[in-house]
Amino acid sequence: MNSSPEKNRGCRRKSCLVLTLVPLLLIVVLFCLFRSSHTLPDRFVLNLQLSGDLSEIQGESSTLPFLSSREPLSLQDLLFILDHAAADERVKELLLEIGGLHASPAKISELRSSIEKVRSRGKKVTAFLSSPEDSDYLLASACDAIVMERGGYLLLDGLKAETLFYTTPLGKIGIRFQAAQWKQYKSGIEPFTRTGASREYFEQIGGLLDEVYDDYLGYASRRRGISRDSLSGIIDRIALISDSRAKTFGLVDSAASSWELKRALNRKITGKEPTGENDALVSGGEYRSAVDWPMKGEGDERIALITLSGPIVRTAGESALGMGEGVDVESLKHSLDAALDDKKVKALVLRIDSPGGDALASAEMLQMLDSAAVKKPLVVSMSGVAASGGYMAALAGKTVFASPLTITGSIGVYALKPEISALVAKTGLGRDVVTRGRLADANSPFKPLDKEAYQKFVAASGEIYDDFIGKVARSRRMPLTAVDSVAGGRVWSGTRALKAGLVDRTGGLFDAIHAARLLAKMDMSKNPRIILYPEQKSWIEMLVQGNRAGLPGMIGAAFKKQLMQEFLPVRHLSSIAAFYDRLMLSGRVHMMAMMPSEIIIE
């Protein structure tokens, strides 16, 4: 006997309802289990692992639960975690496991300040060093005690800046570049037009290294209670130091295995031999998931923390050899629109960790930020680097903060055009072109620019440079001649940028948040809620709300990133690899407002 149509429709509706409710219930159960697994003990040691490049913020793959444990904490993660821990009565001590840290001087300096804040609250901070180098040791010196891995070696061999020059090897295969440079200190063209560094490059990099090295020797020797000359002598004459000699020199306090140290801390907190049931060590990821993130709000008022991290690109998806996307115009627009539409957001803090990038994209970002700053107070916080196009974006700030060792400035423009006519001749490649318009084929990579086209190429770079220094002059209220005297591609530390009038104050992220609260006349007796942009969704939120790439795409991208990090660390790639990649593939002219090089402490 056939069922009635009404009965069939009812069954289908029930089936649809079941298919909808079951996944939702499963998600709710998973969410509850995930949250319950992050209940913290009443007393514990906060155990943070610091390694890698200290990205400013986490990527999307970090939100996937099965990969989050392998993803290093970002700089902002660490800053907010340490800020929480300083006031959290449950946190009795901190253990920092430091090894393989490759970070800019300003990031290490800001972390040192956060560690000092924790110590000022009477909480002991211990550093455990595994195969440490200069960067690891510099950060560890901020702690109360340094424990070195038993049997290991401490490599303190100083600082260096290295640039590779490709002109000769590329010339051998028939590739060369034509360049426009505004001005002489904008040295990003040099690897492709020279066989060695210019005097201006050595002047800039030498000055920055002097500042960083002076900070390194002064801070580490002062914290360890040894003379500056002694530390300098160890670096110059010994470099590779065993755990026993490191203790003799006063560089470390003791040596132990990680297992021994953690068991000792466990016994200290619990008074018992550690077992799986009374583990008193809590990881940074567990702590982050169990506290109000990123800061406990005590009222309705909010501050939007908008981060520009990575090279500035025109559109989403442009990346450095597939290793990671830059910050694009549309993403910033979405962040600003959301922050301005939220009536509870009283002020904006723009956090910049960018060497710059596409000149026109940088100018468009500044225009959007200037418009936003008219509606709500905007304060800028410079992280490791805020240079060239990154500095241009900072011009929107009512107040601009830089860490003393932030790398900033690099106000200038350069452009490179590849031409492969010699390569074509070597390979015998044939080419016929039909054009309409006298200059239709002028920018082809198959031939050099002729005199007229080259003059236009250079003139266009000069116009962008003039526009750039004009923006700086208006924002910083400086005469054009004064701006030009500190521009031309010159690079500054945060301390020297303050003296040059390019920034307003030295300080870190929390200094900028405090200044934004004052500008917005917020209630200073209550902590505001911090809203992070671009929005960082949890894996639960992405499952519920969906993602443009879909879950398989997200998982695939996350695994790809993880594998690439294992086999080809990002630090081995130049910060301008994205530009060179696009340049070589397309042959187009690109106008860049970008920092020509990086300084990383290793």
Lowest mean pLDDT among 4-8, 151-155, 188-192, 404-408: 4-8
Residue in 38, 47, 122, 112 with CA at minimum distance from that of residue 79? 112
What is the spatial distance between Cα 29 and Cα 269, in angstroms, rounded to a whole number?
33
Q: What is the pLDDT of residue 274?
A: 77
pLDDT of residue 570: 44
| CATH number, domain containing residue 306 | 3.90.226.10
CA separation for the pair 503, 380 (Å, rounded):
9
Range scoring the smallest mean pLDDT among 55-59, 84-88, 572-576, 578-582 = 572-576
244 or 70: which leads in pLDDT:
244
Whether residues 125 and 147 share a domain: the answer is: yes
DSSP letter string, 37-91: TTPPPSSEEEEEEEEET--SS--GGGGSTTTTTTSPPPHHHHHHHHHHHHH-TTE
198 classed as catalytic: no
Boundary residue ending a domain (290, 313, 331): 290
CA distance 241 to 239: 6
Asked, for residue 9, whether it belongs to a domain, the answer is no
pLDDT at 134: 96
Q: Does pLDDT of 322 surpass 50?
A: no
- Which pLDDT score, from 0 to 100, does residue 231 have? 98
Nearest to 202 by CA among 222, 180, 225, 185: 185
In a domain, 4, yes or no: no
265 lies in some domain: yes
Question: Tokens 């069954």 — which residue?
Answer: 11
Amino acid at 18: V
Q: Indicate whether 322 and 263 sit together in one domain.
A: no
pLDDT at 572: 42
Arithmetic mean of pLDDT, 397-422:
94
pLDDT digits (tens, 9 = 90+) for 432-490: 999 998 888 888 889 999 999 999 989 999 999 999 999 999 999 999 999 999 999 99
Domain-located, residue 555: yes
pLDDT at residue 318 above 80?
no
pLDDT of residue 579: 46
Q: Are residues 351 and 252 in the same domain?
A: no
Select from 231, 256, 290 the last residue of a domain: 290
Q: How many domains does the chain have?
A: 2
Over residues 53-58, the mean pLDDT reads 90
What's the confidence (pLDDT) of residue 416? 87
Domain extent for 497: 302-411+467-594
Q: Which two tokens stand for residue 57?
A: 């913020």
**Residues 260 and 95: beta-carbon distance below 8 Å:** no
Of residues 148 and 28, more confidently modeled: 148
> Both 328 and 366 in a single domain?
yes
Residue 345 shares a structural domain with residue 268: no
pLDDT at 569 over 50: no
Q: Residue 50 above 80 pLDDT?
A: yes
Mean pLDDT of 327-333: 94
279: helix, strand or coil: coil
pLDDT, position 321: 37
Q: Is the pLDDT of residue 370 over 60?
A: yes
pTM to 2 decimal places: 0.86
Based on the fold, state whether residues 480 and 568 are members of the same structural domain: yes
205 part of a folded domain? no
Domain assignment present for residue 421? The answer is no
> Which of 69-78, 306-315, 556-565 is the most confident on average?
306-315
Q: Are both 394 and 504 inside the same structural domain?
A: yes
- Identify the weakest region by mean pLDDT among 265-279, 386-400, 549-563: 549-563
Q: What is the mean pLDDT of the chain?
A: 86
- Residues 480 and 556 reside in one and the same domain: yes
- At residue 438, the pLDDT reads 87
- Which has the minimum average pLDDT: 240-254, 342-356, 418-432? 418-432
Are 467 and 361 contacting, i.e. CB atoms less than 8 angstroms apart? no
Q: For residue 565, is it within any domain? A: yes
At residue 564 the predicted structure's pLDDT band, cuts being 50, 70 and 90, is: very low
Last residue of a domain, one of 229, 261, 290: 290
Domain co-membership, 481 together with 556: yes
What's the pLDDT tens digit per position in 138-186?
999 999 999 999 999 999 999 988 888 999 999 999 999 999 988 889 9
Q: What is the mean pLDDT of residues 244-269?
A: 96
Segment of 117-131, 318-332, 562-576 carrying the highest mean pLDDT: 117-131
Whether the CB-CB separation of 176 and 170 falls below 8 Å is answered with: yes
Q: Does residue 327 lie in a domain region? A: yes
For 91-143, write each residue's pLDDT tens digit: 999 999 999 998 999 999 999 999 999 999 999 999 999 999 999 999 999 99
Give the per-residue pLDDT at 443.
85
Q: Whats the size of the chain, residue-wise?
A: 602
Task: Inform me whether the pLDDT recorded for 292 exceeds 70.
Answer: yes
Which residue among the candidates 92, 107, 186, 262 is catalytic per the annotation?
A: 186
pLDDT tens digits along 579-596: 455 454 455 555 666 665
Q: Which pLDDT value is given to residue 248?
A: 97
Please enumerate in sequence order all residues whose Cβ is within 8 A of that of 438, keeping only pairs 6 or more positions apart, or say none: none
In terms of Cβ atoms closer than 10 Å to its own Cβ (0-12, 13-18, 19+), residue 374 is exposed
Q: Which of 114, 135, 221, 388 is catalytic?
A: 388
Share of the chain above pLDDT 90, in %: 67
pLDDT of the residue at 285:
92
User: Is 518 found in the same domain as 375?
Assistant: yes
Do residues 364 and 500 share a domain? yes
Task: Let me know whether 309 and 281 are in one domain.
Answer: no
